[in-house]
Amino acid sequence: MKKIFNITKLDHFGRGISRNDEKIIFIENALPKEEVSVTNIVDKKNISETTADEILKKSSDRRDTTKLCKYYGVCGGCNIMHMSYMCQIEFKRNKVVELMKKFAGIDESKIKDIIPSLEFEYRNKITLKVKEKIGLLKNKSYELVNIDSCSISRPKINEIIGKLNTLKFENIEEIVIRCGYNNESMVVFKCCGDIDIDYYLSSLKEYTDTLVMIKDGIENVIFGKGYITEKLGKYYFKISPLSFFQVNTTTAEKLYDVVKEYASLDSTESVLDLYSGTGTIGIYLSEYAKSVLGVEINSEAVEDAKENVKLNNIKNAEFICYDIGKMKKECNNIDVAIVDPPRSGLSKKALLNISEIASKKLIYISCNPSTLARDLNLLKDKYYLKELTPVDMFPNTYHVECVCLLNLR
């Protein structure tokens, strides 16, 4: 049976909010001031969830996604593409403002306008599932959606996806495609058994610069260098098959420029780069610092960071493999500390260690404003927030990055 709802506002996942009898109902593919009809409602203990089947009264902020992506609403990748980009930007900033006020007591005046991004063709990486065919998983499902392109991925990636769709797959569970500087590309097969190497070598050699297979955690380079190179500013970075690198290179450079502005270095400061990954932030700032120490728990990422130091002829940066939660308390005389933790935010031990290091400035980069607000509240006795800049690293999704400048009290 069809039911009709009027949408009042959005939740932090970009879903429309209305009421279903006494319960709040969250409706995907719905915008404020819209009237929508739904059929399948999932009732939970305190809430209901569903997806809009038909938009009876459209918002002026809605756009026709059929012209943007033929898989939107089917695959589980993007979730707010139906919003105009200006609406997306407003939604994300409002989300940050609400979370910071509710959980950290931060006034909106501390939060700058969001830095926008290219809406499409921005991703330098895609991970495809393999179940006879290749594709992405359907939203909230393990069902595979076969795709021949992805509108938010770079054209080179889509060229490779097109070729992969002509191939047969056996003992391959996942395929990662990465694209770097000057369209240099890498295809990574994650395997659960032996594969026909000659078949894939002959099929893909004209389409990608390097092909790597990973089986039982062991990397085997089938052809090419086994890595690609990406560029941020004037610096070059080696990207291994599984190493972390920001998926939106152009906007990542804008984010790092905010970090550089907040650090305001004059070549006399010691910088501590925590959760340093492959060394991108530390290397990006090295020209302006006296010294940079990067700390990262992933040993492969640390090895990449060391390679990137050599690649860029950096003399004042060092990267070590260490658990930030167990970090020695002897990190004295740190002028600027930078943290870029995972979505789960800072652990209790990491928070304690950061407080004891007591750098004059703390720059917190976050991909999850909820855990960021929690951590800022926990740090408030030691640091105060001077400014926060949201950055739209992931257009057409509800995700938003934030860069915070905190000063020692």
Q: Say whether both 108 and 132 belong to one domain.
A: no
In sign, the C-alpha dihedral spanning 298, 257, 284, 335 is: negative
| Domains identified in the chain, total number | 3
Alpha helices in 125-241 (DSSP H): 155-164, 197-204
Could you tell me the two tokens for 120? 């499409």
pLDDT at 150 over 80: yes
Give the C-alpha separation, 60 to 63, whole Å.
8
CATH number of domain containing 175: 2.40.50.1070
Q: Say whether both 279 and 385 belong to one domain.
A: yes
**367 belongs to the catalytic site:** yes
Residues 248-265: tens digit of each pLDDT: 999 999 999 999 999 999
Which of 75, 78, 191, 367 is catalytic? The answer is 367
Give how far Cα 114 sits from Cα of 49, 93, 255, 263, 403, Å.
Answer: 29, 6, 11, 19, 10
Give the C-alpha separation, 110 to 115, whole Å.
15
Has residue 76 been placed in a domain? no
* Contact (CB, 8 A) for 372 and 95: no
Among residues 46, 62, 78, the one where a domain terminates is 62
Q: Say whether both 258 and 341 belong to one domain.
A: yes
Give the C-alpha separation, 401 to 392, whole Å.
6
- 328 pLDDT band (50/70/90 cuts)? low
Query: pLDDT value at position 333?
Result: 86
CATH number of domain containing 389: 3.40.50.150
Has residue 235 been placed in a domain? no
Query: pLDDT value at position 243?
Result: 86
* Contact (CB, 8 A) for 58 and 362: no
- Residues sharing a CB contact under 8 Å with residue 205, sequence separation 6 or more, in sequence order: 211, 223
Q: Say whether both 382 and 286 belong to one domain.
A: yes
What average pLDDT does the segment 231-239 reach? 96
Q: Looking at residue 153, what DSSP letter applies? A: B
Query: pLDDT value at position 139?
Result: 82
Q: Say whether both 188 and 214 belong to one domain.
A: yes
Has residue 242 been placed in a domain? no
Has residue 93 been placed in a domain? yes
Query: pLDDT value at position 388?
Result: 98
Residues 304-323: tens digit of each pLDDT: 999 999 999 999 999 999 98
Among residues 196, 229, 262, the one where a domain terminates is 229
> In whole angstroms, how large is the CA radius of gyration of the chain?
23
Among residues 62, 78, 100, the one where a domain terminates is 62
Tell me the percentage of the chain whose pLDDT exceeds 90: 91
Q: Using alpha carbons only, what angle is made at residue 107 by residues 101 and 108, rounded to the nearest 5 degrees?
A: 95
Residue ranges with strand state E in 29-87: 35-38, 42-43, 47-51, 54-57
**Structural domain that includes position 31:** 3-62
Which 3 state secondary structure label does DSSP give 193?
A: coil
Mean residue pLDDT of the chain comes to 95
Give the C-alpha separation, 16 to 52, whole Å.
9
Q: Which amino acid is at 206?
A: E
